[in-house]
Structure 1
Amino acid sequence: MNNHLLRAALDAAERGWHVFPLRPGSKRPALHGEERCPRTGECASGHRKWEERATTDPARIHRAWCGRPFNVGIATGPSGLLVIDLDMPKNNSSSDTPSGVTTFKALCERAGQRVPTTRTVRTASGGMHLYFTAPPGVRLTNTAGTLAPLVDTRAGGGYVVAPGSITPGGSYVVVDDRPVAPLPGWLCEALQGPRRTPQPGPVPLATSASRYAAAALRNETQAVATAADGTRNHTLLRAARALGRLIATGDLTRAEVEEALSRAAAGNATQPERYYDDVIRRGLDWSIAHNSPRRPA
Structure 2
Amino acid sequence: MGWLDLTRAALQAAARGWYVFPLTPRGKKPLRGFTDWERHATTDTDRIAAFWPRQPYNIGIACGPSRLVVIDLDQPKPGEHPPAGLAQQHPQNGEHVFRLLCAEHAQPYPDDTFTVRTRRGGTHLYFTPADGVRLRNSAGHNGGLGWLIDTRACGGYIVGPGSHVTQPDGTGPYKITRDPPPAPLPAWLAKVLAPAAPPSTSAADLLTSLPDHRLTKYGEAALRGEVERVATARRGTRNRALNTAAFNLGQLVTRGVLPAEMVTTALQFAAETANAEGDPNPSREIAAVIASACPQA
Q: Tell me the TM-score normalised to structure 1 length.
A: 0.59
User: In the alignment, what sits opposite 1:110?
Assistant: 104
Say if 2:138 is the partner of 1:151: no
Equivalent residue number for residue 266 of structure 2: none
Give per-residue Cα distances to partners, 1:181-240, cap 9 Å, x unaligned.
000000000001455799xxxxxxxxxxxxxxxxxxxxxxxxxxxxxxxxxxxxxxxxxx
Q: Distance in 2 between matches of 1:72 and 1:29?
A: 9
1:42 maps to none
Among 72, 90, 94, the residue aligned to 1:85: 72
- Output the amino acid matched with 1:88: Q
Q: What is the CA distance between 1:31 and its match in structure 2? A: 3.5
SS at the partner of 1:88? coil
Q: What is the distance in 1 between the residues matched to 2:58 and 2:3?
A: 9
Structure 1 pair 147/115, CA: closer, same or farther in 2 (3 Å)?
Answer: same
The higher radius of gyration belongs to 1
**Residue 63 of structure 1: CA displacement?**
1.9
Report if the CA contact (8 A) 1:21-1:31 is conserved: no
**Does the aligned pair in 2 maintain the 1:80–1:134 contact within 8 Å?**
yes
Deviation, 1:58, is: 0.7
- Quote the Cα distance in structure 2 between the aligned partners of 1:54 and 1:195: 31
2: CA distance, partners of 1:33 / 1:194: 32
Report if aligned partners of 1:123, 1:171 keep a CA contact under 8 Å in 2: yes
The answer to whether the aligner puts 1:135 opposite 2:133 as a matched pair is no
CA–CA separation in structure 1 for the residues paired with 2:47 and 2:33: 16
CA–CA distance in structure 1, aligned partners of residues 198 and 80 of structure 2: 36
Contact 2:10 2:20 in 1 (8 A): yes
Aligned length: 184
In the alignment, what sits opposite 2:164? 166
> What residue in structure 2 maps to residue 126 of structure 1?
121
Q: For residues 197 and 112 of structure 1, what CA distance do their matches in structure 2 show?
A: 30
SS in 1 for 2:5: helix
Unaligned runs of 5+ in 1: 35-48, 199-297
Give, as a single letter, the amino acid of the residue that structure 2 aligns with 1:180: P
Q: Using the alignment, how far apart are the partners of 1:178 and 1:74 within structure 2?
A: 18
When the two chains are superposed, the root-mean-square deviation of aligned CA atoms in Å is: 1.9
Q: Distance in 2 between matches of 1:94 and 1:72?
A: 31
Normalised to the residue count of structure 2, the TM-score between the two structures is: 0.59
Distance 1:97 1:197 in 2: 34
Q: Deviations over 1:60-96 (max 9, x none)?
A: 1012212100000100000000000001101222496
Distance 1:164 1:33 in 2: 20
Tell whether the 8 Å contact from 2:22 to 2:34 is kept in structure 1 after alignment.
no
Q: Gaps spanning 5+ residues in structure 2: where? A: 83-89, 201-297
User: Partner residue of 1:279?
Assistant: none
How far is the alpha carbon of 1:97 from its aligned partner? Answer: 5.3
Q: Find the aligned partners of 2:91 and 2:77 in 1 and give their Cα distance.
A: 9
C-alpha distance in 1 between matches for 2:73 and 2:21: 23
The partner residue of 2:55 within 51, 68, 93 is 68
Query: Could you say if the C-alpha distance between residues 197 and 28 of structure 1 is closer, same or farther in structure 2, counting changes exceeding 3 Å?
Result: closer
Tell me if 1:51 matches 2:52: no
CA distance in 1, matches of 2:114, 2:13: 13
